[in-house]
Amino acid sequence: MSSPVIALVGNPNAGKSSLFNQLTGLRQKTGNFPGVTVDKKFGTWSIDSQTVATVVDLPGVYSIYPKSLDEQLVTDILANPDHADYPDVAIVVVDASNLHRNLLLFTQVADLRVPVILALNMLDVAHKQAKEVNAVKLAMRLGVPVVRINARTGEGLDTLKKAVTSQIEEPTLPGKLFFDPADEAPDLIGDTKQQYGLDNNYLALQYLIQHDGFTFLNRQQQIGLDAIIDKHQFNEQTFQAGETITRYKRIAAIVAETMTNQRPIGQPTWSQKLDRVLLHPIWGYAIFGFILLLIFQAIFAWAQPFMDAIDTGVAWLNGQLKESMPAGPLTDLLTDGVLAGVGGILVFIPQIAFLFLLVSLLEESGYMSRVMVIMDRIMRKFGLNGRSVVPLISGVACAVPAIMATRSIGTRRDRLITILVTPLMSCSARLPIYTILIALVVPSQRVLGLFNLQGLALMGLYLLGLASALLAAYILKLFLRTKERSFFIMELPTFKLPRWNHVGLTVWESVRSFVWEAGRVILAISIILWVLASYGPGDAMEQAEARVRQQNPTLATDQLQNQIASERLEASYAGVFGHVIEPTIRPLGYDWKIGIALLSSFAAREVFVGTMATIYSIGNGADDEGVTVRERLLQERNPNTGGPMYTPALAWSLLIFYVFAMMCMSTLAATKRETKSWKWPGIQLLYMMSLAYLAAFATYQFLK
């Protein structure tokens, strides 16, 4: 027997993803649904000793009538038995505290004649609201298995396994459709069934209503459906409205029979009382701003001891290797190339971990949904809506999945604008650049005895990214005209205590992905940079060394070695590349060494710090064993002035440049993938790099 496919279906925030995590544990993968660019999560679930099922976590939807690419995918799968992910059993996860609304989707899935199980989740929330659901009565009224579960704790999974096994072996379907379109239009449904070989009245209705959206119908089939629609003068909006009204009437009767509600009507829950403050037009924004301030303060305050330990440890290891290994190219490659580059990124693991920890806590608690609601008021003024908040906030982690998250946005214009401005949000790859440059020029002192000045500077950079994203969205709105109307509807989840195992898993996966993805790129670039910086055209490097020895015969040995190393680096292939672009970046205050780092960071922004560590490691002499990356940057001197290279003007110019710069090939690839054109990635690259250059130029010229 082949592996059965179990699909998880449900409304957003019903607990579907939590159940998926319980069923699959760490045996999860991501990939593309066949034929589309929408990502899916899937994993394995050992139902019994002989059966291992494939569990597919479908995007959250409120009904099978789609309003976005993600929602269209769900309908395509459930309405097409030939689809690779068509389920042997669909588990519809419902929020028991909001049974009336959640059952709408369930009845639609059941009417498609997919073998289905109803999983009653959030019964604890319903109990706190004085609501009790009789699962036995509900199963009898629906005609399918009903299982009580707690997706957060895993309670009820054994019963769910038994129900799934039973449905696989002998599927149980409701005796009749919850809504039968043949009752309203028998000739219309009959013609459709006959022409397309269907035996399900409700599936025939979906062919008529969604024939332009179904990806599995060819053009000839769509033309045939158009002919049937014209023949019977079928009005899909009127029919769909009538269906929804009929379903809710029948659902109301079922809920009245199976649920008791002991709370007086109109009495608010504690969650609703809290929402009056969090969603307030004034206090809501003030609280959100205060939470952001705490996050950025914590990133600096909590992470600093760990960063110092890692920084010192890497520098110590580098020094030990140089002392214990024989001098030569291999030792130089390992210490000045690989370890210096990779070590330059490892030091930022604590800050990355704390950032994802705090953001994960906000998501787990249910607060992030409130942020989407209050931000919708602002977003609409700039041509976006509340759903754009998810990609923008996700962009704080990484722009690539954030751009993919725009699929939940219904209108094409809103989706395109969100894709184009999301990279302006400061992602985690920028965090290493921000923190090391801020530490160079912003003193670590407290303001008002509470707030760290470096944390305030970091928050300012993130807010600058958000402000620029909104401004860019407003400008794009003026050029991208559309007649589509944008709607934002969201059900607010109840507040919950964070699941620490989920929080820990999120932090671990995020840090591991950051280190692995960045580490591979940095390792490759560090090796390339070491080669380019250690060798030069002809005998240019030897001539540079001879020139230094001739011009400085009285210098002490250590100073002479430093001068030789610096001159050899400038004469190397890396130095040649740096000098080629130096005239372009000189107005920004950058020299050829920074130019090398700018070029390398086009692969990934975080490579900037690793590149600088490699460049300055090679460019210094033999006395730098045990010197940290930060100390190397502090020691760098400006050859023209003799003063520190990293002045406030230069550091802030670099910071502003990286706030706006599009220096991530993966993000451009994601934009091309989502827009299916190189036009929009080209526009994205052009406007962001132009903005970065002009802003950095203005900053340097103003501060120098």
**For 433-473, what is each residue's pLDDT tens digit?**
888 888 888 887 777 767 788 888 888 898 999 899 989 98
Which of 78-87, 221-230, 508-517 shows the lowest mean pLDDT across its residues?
508-517
Using the predicted structure, report yes or no on whether residue 350 has a pLDDT greater than 50.
yes
Q: Tell me what pLDDT residue 388 has.
A: 75
Most confident of 340-349, 433-442, 558-567: 433-442
As a dihedral over the C-alpha atoms of residue 289, residue 294, residue 300, residue 306, rounded to 10 degrees, the angle is -140
CB 315 within 8 A of CB 626: yes
Mean pLDDT of the chain: 80
Q: Tell me what pLDDT residue 393 has.
A: 74
CA distance 198 to 190: 9
What is the DSSP code string of 514-568?
A: HHHHHHHHHHHHHHHHHHHHH--STTHHHHHHHHHHHH-TTS-HHHHHHHHHHHH
| Same-domain pairing of 111 and 204 | no
DSSP state of 337: I
* Average pLDDT of the segment spanning 235-257: 89
DSSP state of 333: I
Using the predicted structure, report yes or no on whether residue 399 has a pLDDT greater than 50.
yes
- Give the end of a domain, one of 121, 147, 169: 169
Q: Tell me what pLDDT residue 348 has.
A: 67
**For 521-540, what is each residue's pLDDT tens digit?**
667 766 777 777 778 888 88
Residue 375 domain-assigned?
Answer: no
Residue 629 domain-assigned?
Answer: yes
CA distance 232 to 230: 6
| Same-domain pairing of 119 and 204 | no
Q: Tell me what pLDDT residue 486 has.
A: 52
Tell the burial category of 554 from Cβ atoms under 10 Å away from its Cβ (0-12, 13-18, 19+): exposed
- Give the end of a domain, one of 226, 261, 296: 261
Using the predicted structure, report yes or no on whether residue 44 has a pLDDT greater than 80.
yes
Using the predicted structure, report yes or no on whether residue 361 has a pLDDT greater than 80.
yes
Which is more confidently placed, 117 or 531? 117
Place of tokens 């890396």: 574
Task: Say if pTM beats, i.e. exceeds, 0.85.
Answer: no
* Average pLDDT of the segment spanning 680-684: 91
| Same-domain pairing of 691 and 560 | yes
| Same-domain pairing of 129 and 255 | no
Distant-in-sequence contacts of 214-219, Cβ < 8 A, 24+ apart:
214/75, 214/76, 214/79, 214/80, 215/35, 215/36, 215/72, 215/76, 216/76, 216/80, 216/82, 216/83
| Same-domain pairing of 241 and 122 | no
Which two three-digit tokens encode residue 249? 């009437």
Q: Tell me what pLDDT residue 373 has.
A: 79
Q: Tell me what pLDDT residue 281 has.
A: 84
| Same-domain pairing of 562 and 651 | yes
Q: Which domain range does residue 79 map to?
A: 5-169
Residue 392 domain-assigned?
Answer: no
| Same-domain pairing of 19 and 161 | yes
Largest CA distance in the chain: 104
Q: Tell me what pLDDT residue 521 has.
A: 66
Residue 302 domain-assigned?
Answer: no
CA distance 71 to 95: 19
| Same-domain pairing of 53 and 155 | yes
Using the predicted structure, report yes or no on whether residue 36 has a pLDDT greater than 50.
no
Residue 554 domain-assigned?
Answer: yes
Residues linked to residue 95 through DSSP beta bridges, in sequence order: 121
Considering the chain, what percentage of its residues have pLDDT values greater than 90?
17
DSSP state of 34: T
CA distance 328 to 420: 48
Which is more confidently placed, 550 or 181? 181
CA distance 435 to 455: 9
Sign of CA dihedral 452, 425, 60, 34: negative
Using pLDDT thresholds of 50, 70 and 90, give the confidence band for residue 37. Answer: very low
| Same-domain pairing of 45 and 141 | yes
| Same-domain pairing of 232 and 137 | no
Q: Among 105, 42, 64, which residue's Cα sits nearest to residue 203?
A: 64
**For 635-653, what is each residue's pLDDT tens digit?**
777 777 777 888 889 999 9
Which is more confidently placed, 115 or 480? 115
What is the DSSP code string of 660-682?
A: H----HHHHHHHHHHHTSSHHHH
Q: How many domains is the chain built from? A: 3
- Give the end of a domain, one of 261, 286, 310: 261
- The H or E element spanning position 57 is strand 52-57
Residue 683 domain-assigned?
Answer: yes
Q: Tell me what pLDDT residue 112 has.
A: 93
Whichever domain contains 24, its CATH number is 3.40.50.300
CA distance 622 to 704: 33
Q: Tell me what pLDDT residue 652 has.
A: 94
Residue 336 domain-assigned?
Answer: no
Using the predicted structure, report yes or no on whether residue 488 has a pLDDT greater than 60.
no
Q: Tell me what pLDDT residue 401 has.
A: 67
Residue 510 neighbours by CB under 8 Å, 6+ apart? 352, 353, 356, 397, 428
Residue 516 domain-assigned?
Answer: no
| Same-domain pairing of 55 and 165 | yes
Q: Tell me what pLDDT residue 691 has.
A: 94
| Same-domain pairing of 630 and 592 | yes
Strand-strand pairing, 259-261 and 131-133: antiparallel
Which two three-digit tokens encode residue 405? 């998250």
* Average pLDDT of the segment spanning 365-380: 78
Chain mean position to CA 393: 8
Q: Tell me what pLDDT residue 5 has.
A: 92
